[in-house]
Amino acid sequence: MVAPVITGYYRYTDIWFEWHQALPDPDDRGPLKACLAHDALVHPNHPLRKEGVDGAELFMGTLQNYETRLLFSSAQVEYLRYWLHAMKLTKTLIPLPYSDCLLTTSSLRHVSPVQYKTGGDLRSALKQIEKNNKRLKGANPMLNSRRDLFERVRTFWSDKKGAWCALDFEAWDRDHTLLTEFGWSVVRWENEKEIQEQGHLIVKEHQNYFNTYVDNNREHFAFGESEVVSRAVFKTRIQALISTLQEAGPLFLVFHDNSQDIKYLKSKAVDAEIPDLIFLLPDATPDDGIFVIDTSDLFAALEGEAGHNRRSLERVCRHLQVPCSYLHNAGNDAHYTLLAMISMASGDPLDMQREKRWPSRTGATNTVNGSQVGAGVKVDFRPWEEDSDFSDQEGAFGSVPSGYDMKTGKLLGGDGDDAAS
């Protein structure tokens, strides 16, 4: 019988520190070590260089205990040993690392490619990964679940499969059973071509109901023409939308704080014929089914929120630098919700993405229900980043400090260096 070929991943640290030391011929160790050097890996002429990638492409994996590791694929390791021998840099075909070092897919929650342009970027990444793993020891299970969700959404989005539809309802704020608007924003793929759709419905019979406590922005849909329809048409249009989108394969319904919108979907005013909604995402991209994705959970993972606090859509968009206006229009809210999801799902792995968005802004210990949990992956946002009206409150609460860099979150001195604390 032919033994099955087992593929997987090797820890970067095992390949870099251990592989060359285990080679039986000392003369083979130098060439391997040189080929694995940080600056060598990112060189345009490196044998592992991938076409179209500016630098080195490796892999970021999450172990079953939620720790992250930088990885080489087994295919990269195989190719490297063959290349070294073909170039006559090693006397023989060097042996593979010990089989127990190989991480199969069952050992990992998820894996995704990552790129590094310079050797310095690679060295910094290794330090950051180690730091994050230490900070996450003993992290709250809710934070671990959110982090796992974040990476699964990134994986599913990169597969470009099915339809991703953000939905939003608006109801009269003095009677939440009385729906006034519905908005949707969709991204799907046909023959690998991305198709975008969005729309906004206003219930004709409820046009004269105006909110008391929430902004009235139903006339300010920014992404097309609003449609005024009867309650009956409102109902059938939503039902038809859900039914049609299911034909594209898996349907990912994207909400921002989903509980109320899902109630509206199942209410008599809509009565959408949908099977059981799936809130736990599978290990691999599904072929069918309807799955719920909540941008408030995704952002909580990104900012390192271990508690029950949920950010408003406006604040999520602010922190992700997604421009938005005329919120509380169902069409606008749906569109901004989808843009926020795409901003996170199309970015780097979670910890890399957080560090790029808010460099050096973590480190304080989190406290949840009076107990310290995690070890500092919570982003420290400044007051002026949190509140759009902060500049209007300068007299009472102070202003943004002079020399504050809004992008990096650092306070700079006159010479451009970090100011002394």
- Parts of the chain with a pLDDT under 50: 1, 366, 368, 372-375, 391-421
Contact call for residues 70 and 59 (beta carbons, < 8 A)? yes
Quote the pLDDT of residue 63.
94
Task: Give long-range contacts, CB 8 A cutoff, 24+ apart: 79-82.
Answer: 79/47, 79/48, 80/32, 80/35, 80/47, 80/48
d(CA 343, CA 364): 26
Tens of pLDDT, residues 85-129: 999 999 999 999 988 889 998 899 999 999 999 999 999 999 999
Quote the pLDDT of residue 370.
52
Quote the pLDDT of residue 414.
37
Tens of pLDDT, residues 42-86: 999 999 999 999 999 999 999 999 999 999 999 999 999 999 999
- Position of tokens 């606090």? 309
Quote the pLDDT of residue 408.
41
Task: Spell out the residues 6+ positions from residue 416 whose beta carbon is closer than 8 angstroms to its own.
Answer: none
Please choose, from the candidates 311, 315, 314, 291, the residue with its C-alpha nearest in 3D space to the C-alpha of residue 300. 311
- DSSP assignments along 215-247, one per residue: ---TT--SSS--EEE-HHHHHHHHHHHHHHHHT
Quote the pLDDT of residue 275.
75
Contact call for residues 315 and 336 (beta carbons, < 8 A)? no
**Domains parsed from the chain with CATH numbers:** 9-135 (no CATH), 158-355 (3.30.420.10), 359-411 (no CATH)
Question: Whole-prediction pTM value?
Answer: 0.85
Quote the pLDDT of residue 399.
39
